Amino acid sequence: MHLLAVGTHSSARADAKMTQTALRVKTLLLVAGWARGVLARGKTLATAAVIGAICLWAGPAAPAQLWLDPSDASRAALGPDEAAGAVIWSHGRSVDSEDSRAPTPPYLAALRDGGWDTFRFNRMRASDTLSASARALLDDVHQLKQRGYRRVALAGQSFGAFLSLMAADASEEVDAVVATAPAAYGSFAEFYDSWRSNATELYPLLEQVRRARVMIFYFHGDDFDPGGRGDRSRDILAARKLPHVVVDQPARLTSHWAAATPQFARAFGGCILGFLDAAQVADGAQCDGQGLWAGTPAMKTAQPNRVTDPSDKSNGG
């Protein structure tokens, strides 16, 4: 599941510009040298080099490997001045399919209904690595802050949950993280040798979150979950004195992909919205029905009137 790093969408754009500039300079030098006869003895090779360089320089750009899209193209964004903030959702990573094509989870509709602009961070499998994608995600967070969004929250499923926490470790511009079924090292059945790393590599991420409030969901029957992560996560976040809610194996929601279902959206969409909206999240905060009890009854947040429930189908990792 975890491959070697390759690069970010921001660095890829910069690299493309640098490559074009280098090729252009190389082309001009080759042409000039050829004209002066400096490369006369290697005329054929010089000609081939010039033609090759020109073809590379003028050729079509490679398709984007990492990019940010609205999570629902049918709904216009409120914009930085009107929105409560921005949420970037990151999909998982499968070994045999492109999760950038997986549906956006229905619970994001509750966040849109609650006044948040929602986006999805898409990555092609070949360029999707923890280090490179986390850097790219950080770049998107920074750009949204520069556009004027007061708060930027990161939500992620599986591999995307790891990316969201890594970004929160690296930047104080991340205000909140919602991590569902965090995993980046494979399942028990297919990647037994690295499977336990879904726990051992997760805990250091929680220990290094800079300032973001953190909400995590673990599910019964998740073949990527080594077990015992709920209590350990609570202990780490409490010791860090970070605002947090850990939902461990909620009833009637099973499997690694439970957060992609309409049932999850109905049960927890309002609580996630409340977690993002709450002015403060105190010790003992928890999901209460469809809302959030943020540690004191006076801080219980209002919930949206309804949550839209799109298709239950998802192939995300």
The domain locations on the chain are 9-58, 66-299
Q: Quote the tokens at residue 249.
A: 């194996």
Report the predicted TM-score, pTM, of the whole model to 2 decimal places.
0.76
**290, 284 Cβ separation under 8 angstroms:** no
Q: Using one digit for the tens of pLDDT, what is the confidence trace for 14-39? A: 443 333 333 333 333 333 343 333 33
Question: Tokens 């909620």 map to which residue?
Answer: 250
**243, 211 Cβ separation under 8 angstroms:** no
Mean model confidence pLDDT for the chain: 80
From the options 3.30.9.10, 3.40.50.1820, 3.40.50.970, 2.40.240.20, give the CATH code of 66-299: 3.40.50.1820
Which has more confidence, 172 or 307?
A: 172
User: Given a cut of 80, is residue 207 above it in pLDDT?
Assistant: yes
Residue type, 268: F
User: Given a cut of 60, is residue 116 above it in pLDDT?
Assistant: yes
**For 21, phi and psi rounded to 5 degrees?**
-65, -45
The H-assigned helical ranges of 37-122 are 43-58, 108-113
Residue 36: per-residue pLDDT: 37
The lowest-confidence range among 139-143, 221-225, 306-310 is: 306-310
Q: Quote the tokens at residue 100.
A: 């950038």
d(CA 192, CA 180): 21
Q: Using one digit for the tens of pLDDT, what is the confidence trace for 56-109? A: 333 444 556 999 999 999 999 999 999 999 999 999 999 888 999 999 999 999
The H-assigned helical ranges of 5-106 are 9-36, 43-58
Give the mean pLDDT of 251-280. 97
